[in-house]
């Protein structure tokens, strides 16, 4: 997909409703109408028609096209699929949800032939997927066999169901708001190319699941429109592994081709031998290539195999995963522990710093107005460090930049207020207030594109409110 005209950040590229939506593979038990997670302690009921779980008899998704439509309910009732659900152990029910979206795709054959025809034009990568025994066998057991044999829908062929599985794996988008985590297929959004530094951002509307894609940077006429199918904060080794295993292609974008990842060093180690050089891949497009120190003058000999690098990163990654989501002390301890091992902007450090940027000022014991000057400066420092990386790998009007700009304004504003109370000069205060205003103005624009009910959307509104309140400072300091 290429741009037919020059686009500026924020311009809408496409906005469309999904062909189909529903539970992700491996999801938790959820309402089949609105996709609200149903934990053990959460009250739920059985659909009067098919017997599948719902959040309530008045679920907003009952009978809706992108919820639990009547045609689906009738089929699930006829197949008596609910008889296989063990309501005493919700965890055992999870695998049954794997077949719901494939079934919805198959039902389009009767209910919406044109949508089904459009869907079947999408890439399946069947030949590649067939040669991945674990993947093909997993789909056969949890989806193909369930639909055709357990549910008795023998009008569909095994190859047809496998093709639907491939279409979903290759082309679906993860979507959802307010705790809902589902996937959807869209008529044209799947045509966008992948890039590890994408030039678009997308959001979906709560309830309708309409997907809106906007330019995040300036896009010139004729330029390729891109999105990322990988988590941009990960390093090349992990992104390419994910894309190969889940999207079945090897990315060779500018970022993946550069050992330094465009100067972000997202996968770099600090050389354990010379302590000054960085250990980088000798060929980032070859997952088997060795890694070596870049400081050739002082450290010509240090080299590590790709396998050893993978094992090291996985081990440290498991350590990060074991840190409590609100454990500020453990996060800071992790950064200190690996300060001489991982590059300061290594993706594992970056993830921890992103969490800290949002925890400082928000959780008990670290509320913003109670933070010491040292902690406020630490929050500011972290925000500035991660923004330098986001400006490269998530440039323009992107969610991560918007949130971080909003987080950055808080310590700046608190420090400024305290300095005012200590009789700091007006000229110095005006200079610092300009920085606060700049953060809030950009954050309010970027996050203004987010759904109002999302946490990012509410941040955007808070940024606008803060800008209004800052006007009161003009009465004291004059124009700034």
Q: Do 406 and 443 meet the contact criterion of CB atoms below 8 Å apart?
A: yes
Average pLDDT over residues 28-45: 83
**Burial class of residue 342 in the structure, from the number of CB atoms within 10 Å of its CB (0-12 exposed, 13-18 middle, 19+ buried):** buried
DSSP run (H or E) holding 194: strand 193-194
Average pLDDT over residues 395-403: 98
Q: Do 380 and 408 meet the contact criterion of CB atoms below 8 Å apart?
A: yes
How far apart are the C-alpha atoms of 384 and 390, rounded to whole Å? 10
Confidence of residue 124 (pLDDT cuts 50, 70, 90): very high
Average pLDDT over residues 91-112: 92
Residue in 446, 362, 441 with CA at minimum distance from that of residue 403: 446
Q: Is pLDDT above 80 for 468?
A: yes
Each residue of 237-272: pLDDT tens digit? 999 999 999 999 999 999 999 999 999 999 999 999
How far apart are the C-alpha atoms of 376 and 384, rounded to whole Å? 12
What pLDDT sits at residue 480?
57
Average pLDDT over residues 188-203: 97
Phi, psi of 92 (to 5 degrees): -75, -15
Phi, psi of 212 (to 5 degrees): -115, 125
CB hemisphere CA count around 331 (13 angstroms): 19
pTM to 2 decimals?
Answer: 0.92
Q: Do 236 and 284 meet the contact criterion of CB atoms below 8 Å apart?
A: yes
Higher pLDDT, 90 or 352: 352
Q: Please give the C-alpha separations between residue 202 and each of 169, 251, 397, in angstroms, as whole numbers.
A: 19, 21, 10
Residue in 107, 38, 34 with CA at minimum distance from that of residue 70: 107
With the CA atoms of 218, 219, 220 and 223 taken in that order, what torsion angle do they form, in degrees rounded to the nearest 10?
150
Q: Do 447 and 405 meet the contact criterion of CB atoms below 8 Å apart?
A: no
Phi, psi of 175 (to 5 degrees): -135, 175
Residue in 402, 408, 362 with CA at minimum distance from that of residue 385: 408
DSSP run (H or E) holding 470: helix 455-477
Q: Is the dihedral of CA 168, 169, 170, 174 positive or negative?
A: positive
Q: What is the largest CA-CA distance in the chain?
A: 80
Each residue of 210-220: pLDDT tens digit? 999 999 999 99
> Where are the domains positioned within the chain?
19-161, 232-343, 360-480
Beta-carbon count within 10 A of 374 CB: 8
Q: Do 416 and 443 meet the contact criterion of CB atoms below 8 Å apart?
A: no
Two tokens at 138?
């997993």
């Amino acid at each position: 997909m290429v741009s037919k005209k020059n686009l500026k950040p924020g311009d809408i590229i496409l906005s469309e409703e999904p062909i189909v939506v529903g539970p992700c593979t491996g999801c938790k038990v959820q309402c089949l109408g609105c996709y609200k997670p149903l934990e053990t302690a959460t009250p739920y009921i059985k659909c009067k028609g098919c017997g599948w779980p719902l959040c309530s008899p008045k679920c907003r998704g009952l009978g809706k096209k992108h919820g639990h439509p009547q045609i689906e309910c009738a089929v699930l009732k006829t197949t008596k699929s609910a008889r296989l659900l063990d309501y005493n152990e919700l965890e055992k029910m999870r695998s049954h949800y794997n077949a719901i979206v494939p079934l919805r795709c198959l039902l389009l054959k009767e209910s919406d032939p044109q949508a089904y025809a459009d869907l079947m034009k999408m890439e399946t990568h069947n030949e590649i997927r067939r040669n991945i025994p674990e993947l093909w066998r997993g789909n056969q057991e949890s989806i193909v066999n369930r639909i055709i044999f357990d549910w008795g829908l023998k009008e569909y062929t095994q190859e047809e169901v496998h093709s639907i599985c491939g279409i979903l794996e290759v082309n679906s988008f993860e979507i959802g708001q307010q705790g809902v985590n589902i996937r959807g297929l869209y008529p044209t959004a799947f045509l966008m190319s992948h890039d590890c530094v994408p030039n678009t951002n997308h959001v979906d509307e709560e309830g309708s699941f309409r997907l809106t894609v906007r330019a995040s940077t300036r896009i010139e006429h004729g330029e390729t429109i891109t999105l990322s199918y990988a988590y941009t904060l990960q390093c090349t080794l992990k992104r390419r592994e994910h894309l190969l295993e889940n999207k079945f292609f090897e990315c060779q974008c500018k970022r993946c081709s550069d050992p330094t990842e465009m100067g972000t060093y997202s996968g770099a180690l600090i050389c354990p031998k010379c302590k000054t050089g960085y250990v980088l891949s000798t060929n980032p497009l070859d997952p088997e290539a060795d890694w070596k120190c870049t400081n050739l003058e002082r450290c010509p000999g240090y080299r590590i195999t790709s396998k050893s690098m993978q094992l090291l990163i996985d081990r440290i990654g498991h350590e990060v995963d074991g840190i409590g989501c609100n454990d500020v002390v453990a996060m800071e301890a992790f950064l200190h522990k690996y300060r001489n091992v991982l590059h300061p902007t290594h993706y594992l450090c970056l993830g921890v710093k992103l969490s800290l940027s949002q925890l400082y000022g928000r959780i008990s014991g670290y509320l913003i107005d109670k933070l010491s000057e040292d902690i406020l400066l630490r929050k500011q420092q972290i925000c500035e460090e991660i923004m330098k990386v986001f400006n490269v790998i998530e440039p323009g009007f992107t969610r991560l930049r918007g949130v971080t700009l909003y987080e950055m304004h808080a310590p700046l504003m608190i420090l400024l207020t305290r300095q005012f109370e200590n009789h700091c000069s007006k000229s110095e205060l005006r200079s610092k207030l300009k920085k606060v205003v700049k953060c809030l103005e950009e954050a309010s624009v970027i996050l203004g594109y987010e759904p109002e009910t999302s946490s990012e959307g509410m941040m955007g509104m808070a940024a606008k409110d803060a800008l209004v309140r800052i006007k009161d400072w003009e009465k004291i300091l004059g124009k700034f």
